Amino acid sequence: MHGKGEDQTRPYHLAKKTAARQTLSAGVRIGRIVNSERARASEVVSFEWLPDSG
pLDDT 10s digits, 23-44: 888 888 888 888 888 888 777 6
What residue type is assigned to position 49 of the chain? W
> The pTM is what?
0.41
Specify the pLDDT at position 40: 80
Which residues are CB-contacts of 51 (< 8 A; sequence separation ≥ 6)?
none
The mean predicted confidence, pLDDT, of the chain is 75
Task: Give CA–CA dist 29/18, Å, rounded.
Answer: 16
Determine how many CB atoms are found less than 10 A away from the CB of residue 4. 7
pLDDT higher than 80, residue 47: no
pLDDT higher than 70, residue 1: no
